[in-house]
Amino acid sequence: MLNASLVISPDYVIAPVRRRLFGSFVEHMGRCVYTGIYEPGHPTADEDGFRGDVLDLTRELGVELVRYPGGNFVSGYRWEDGIGPVADRPVRRELAWHSIETNEVGVDEFARWARKADVEVMYAVNLGTRGVEEALDVHEYMNHESGTHLSELRRANGSDAPHGVKLWCLGNELDGPWQLGHKTAHEYGRLAAETARALRQAEPDLELVACGSSSSSMPTFGEWESTVLELTYDQVDHISLHAYYEVLDGDVDSFLASAVDMDHFIDSVVATADAVGARLKSSKKITLSFDEWNVWYMKRFQEAPRTEWETAPRVIEDQYDVTDAVVVGNLLISLLRHSDRVAVACQAQLVNVIAPIRSEPGGPAWRQTIFHPFALTSRLARGQVLRVETTSPTYSTKRFGDVPVVDAVATHDPDTGDTVVFVVNRHQSEPVDLRVGLAAFGDVAVAEAWTMHDQDGSATNTEADPDRVVPQAQAVDVTEGELHAVLPPVSWTAVRLTHRS
């Protein structure tokens, strides 16, 4: 058995817990929208055609914000296609995912779904095939109260009150050659700055996200961020990051250390943004929108290109196992740890498409393994994020060299006195004897403790067995100001501590 220790204190504050870190993503891709959130005729469907079982799971997941409508989809999207009487809406080819888009769901329907799910909308505009005029038009339609052509059109279409979207993405992944309207950093930066200025003339207090690199492995990474921010620094609030992780060539050890890559990615973008700010002699700090992240077995998708034109095809419906859930839990630790600079994060996507929720047409919806660390972290993380001093053995990985076996973050809510420790054991075979010094918190007791672990690291949840993998109660002791727990191999654990009554 390995040994590790953590030191935490309510004085070691990084930043407040940002609730927007618990964001998700709904793109018109595969079955995320159609037979995902929306399926008229389903036994649980409401009067608007939204699946009640998926809505219930979305609320249970603890999602605070949802990015919409893409993703690659948005770079060829005509938002006008999705408004007005459904029978009159055009059916289009959707080039990003080689499918047919019926436009049954558009901005009004999605805003209605978001209100039912009690989530904030983060809207992405098309800067691939369109530009400033389209962005102003969709903003007028969604946010202007009344009295103009497009606001009155919205009201005529059944949405009397404006949708009030405050957070806007200026396009999506325009650094990628796969993207409709792919641009150089200078081309995109100019267009993003022009669009941002125009949107701020319409509504000055909007929050705007510039596109960063679609991954840290892009050949233009770093240079892209620097050029784009040089052109947009005064006009935008956030710059985006996207990252997906998978087991490559059977290298599970490196996969379990994926958060090391996320940490480095975040730190690199922060350094670049601050360097640009220094060159511009600005006191403003650009924050980060990690608005696409998850485990995605991308090689499987790339090896099976689509050839048929279908509506709502089954695309990247990855089935997640226990190991994937542990990695997702660790990525959430990384995001919390960087809450001083990461302002928004969106796990991609919400349902069916590389998602924590799965559903079947006419059938059930269920929780994938990765659902549980997200739901628990969203429910438990409150108050302030605390810096954790970790003493841990290391293990060797091919991609990242020697990395700590144990990774952790903590939160503390001064209002309730609750303290939560989130911790992962990345080792494939060794349990960890963990000690956590709690003297600075006074007389505390364990209120609840949960662990994601299974003897079979490849265990999954399925339609036939939806609760095969669920969080298990963890045995945790607190004596004389010290927490003691044994962390199983490949496990993610959350412990909530409260003052003794």
- Residue 200 has, within 13 A of its CA and on its CB side, a CA count of 16
Closest CA to 419 of 383, 453, 450: 383
Catalytic residue among 64, 94, 134, 292: 292
225 is catalytic: no
Burial 69-85 (b: 16+ CB within 10 A, else e): bbbbbbbbbebbebbbe
Residue with tokens 């492995």: 217
Closest CA to 367 of 456, 252, 452, 300: 452
Catalytic residue among 80, 94, 140, 173: 173
Q: The tokens of 366 are what?
A: 């269920």
Q: The tokens of 132 are what?
A: 């400033």
140 is catalytic: no
Q: How far is CA 362 from CA 27, 35, 349, 351, 466, in A?
A: 21, 8, 21, 15, 16
Q: What is the largest CA-CA distance in the chain?
A: 70
| Other CB atoms within 10 A of residue 118 CB | 11
Q: Is the dihedral of CA 85, 91, 94, 100 positive or negative?
A: positive
CB 485 within 8 A of CB 494: no
Closest CA to 492 of 465, 447, 460, 457: 457
Q: Estimate the share of the chain in helix, then strand, then coil, as percent rounded to the nearest 5.
A: 30, 30, 45
Residue with tokens 């209605």: 112
SS (H, E, C) 53-118: HHHHHHHHHCCCEEEECCCHHHHHCCHHHHCCCHHHCCCEEECCCCEEECCCCCHHHHHHHHHHHC
| Other CB atoms within 10 A of residue 95 CB | 14
Gap between the Cα atoms of 41 and 252, Å rounded: 42
Is the peptide bond prior to 442 cis by the omega test (within 30 degrees of 0)? no
* Catalytic (active-site) positions: 173, 292
